[in-house]
Chains A and B, each alone.
Chain A
Amino acid sequence: MVDRINTSVRRVPSWLIYLATVAYTVWLFYLGMTGGLGAEPINALERELGITALQLVTVGLAVTPLRKHFRINLIKHRRAIGVSAFFVVLVHLLVWLFLDVQTLDRIWADILKRPYITIGMTGFVLMLPLAVTSNNLSVRKLGLVWRKLHKLTYAVAILGAVHYVMVAKGFQIVPLVYLAVIAGLLLLRLRLPVLRTRQA
């Protein structure tokens, strides 16, 4: 079973993931312009893109635990997943900047004054060095530093989930589920005695 999954995963070319991400984004804009996202398409776009980005980050975080605990190997696509997540976050940010808030003073005031936006922006800024070093040359040149640098993903994931939790009004379950799943995936990486025995 696991072998079959791994074989089919290997057969999927990674460029398909990039293509799907771009196609999905274009499709969302098309829906937004033609009424498919409802009466308030700007907010709908922000939400859709934000949630998709968080899902991609979560899948990216799951790659290592899946291999360690279930021998399912998605490592070949991890870069495509990560870069796609960055792309969707970038579009999410651009929609907020240019379609939603629009003026510089409002943008600046929001980044400084609104904790959930400060947190979201911090997450985006932390993604920048990861996106820039997502190429073979950087991996080779940076070596151990690259591996340490890309642990920033953990912080990015937590910031993204907290950003989502903070936007919700009232007591809403879904954002908390994202936060819990991400926290769980990070806990799996700790060398806890409990987990070590299970591996053995």
Chain B
Amino acid sequence: MANRWTNDLSGRDVTPEHIYMNRRTLLAGLAASAALPGMARGQSLPEPNSWDDITSYNNYYEFGTGKGDPARNAHRLTVSPWTVRIDGLVDKPGDYAFDDIMKNMTIEERIYRFRCVEAWSMVVPWNGFELADLLDMVGVQGAAKYVAFETVARPEEMPGLRSRVLDWPYVEGLRLDEAMHPLTIMATGIYGRDIPKQNGAPLRLVVPWKYGYKSIKSIVRITLTDKEPPTSWNKSQPSEYGFYSNVNPTVDHPRWSQASERRIGGGLFSSRIDTLMFNGYEQEVASLYKDMDLVKYH
């Protein structure tokens, strides 16, 4: 069921050249040729963030709470070999080697907005496969209603595990229909390269209409259950972080507003932009939550 979604964010294909083309030089070039007809279009369709932005500004508390800590410390993580245990209400439970999973999956590029609960955002050109394809591969049983995920926790490779900022290992969860949605992917790359360790190598979840912390990194376990699974931030602060965590500009975080966000990469004098309902994917996902109180189920 690959290719169920077509990118809407960039008019052009993201080629590896972008990696070497710094966003600022790109903008400077655009400014220098302001007469170009492509200019207006370039503004309405945001360019993906630069490789440097995406790989240097990360939240991955297992490597430290500073935004630069993951890029500094994640090199210690061993990502090959990598095994994902898939269990619970599935027909073919077992330990699946990363390489074997990849052989059966279709990798596509998905350029998504990424909105952190801290009110900053990026545009990321992910490479990955639809989570639905992986779940179909293992056979989801009829009684399954939720999918639980778990991040690797190796104290010897992840210095952040020493402080109990959260209850390790990091866990997340989705309702089954959210997990099967065409927008939900398992990312294994960025800009056509292997996904860097600070971004959740070798495979991570990406759910673009939810706050970033739902998109759990470096997954070692996927469990199909019939009950809503516990999720790390919800366990830590239930009033601030709900199970659903859909991007919603009308439901504020108790400590800050979610109505606007700062798009990373604009420098010191950039303005905030309005946050979009479901992070701009309202058309695609709103039906999943019809008749639900989005304040109560935040």
Contacts and interface: CB of A to CB of B under 8 A. Distances in A.
Interface string A97-118: 0011110001001100111100
A106 B275 CA distance: 14
B257 A40 contact: no
Contact of A170 (B52, B61, B265): B61
Interface stretch (A31-39, A86-94, A124-132): A31-39
Tell me if A's interface is mostly helix, strand, loop or mixed.
helix
Given A32-B268, A172-B165, A40 B255 contact: no
B264 A40 contact: yes
Contacts of A172: 65, 163, 165
A40 B67 contact: yes
Contacts of B252: 113
A170 B272 contact: no
Contacts, number: 72
Interface residues of B, number: 33
Contacts of A42: 262, 268, 270
A20 interface: no
B256 interface: yes
A40 B260 contact: no
A170 B257 contact: no
B57 interface: yes
Nearest to B166: A170
Q: In which size bucket is the chain A interface?
A: 20 to 34
A39 B256 contact: no
A65 interface: no
A169 B118 contact: yes
A25 interface: no
A171 B237 CA distance: 10
Contact of A114 (B52, B164, B165, B255): B255
Contacts of B269: 99
Given A38-B68, A39-B49, A106-B272, 13 more contacts: A29-B268, A38-B56, A38-B57, A39-B53, A40-B57, A42-B262, A99-B268, A106-B257, A106-B259, A110-B256, A114-B257, A169-B118, A170-B237
Interface of A: 29, 32-33, 38-45, 99-102, 106, 109-110, 113-116, 166-167, 169-173
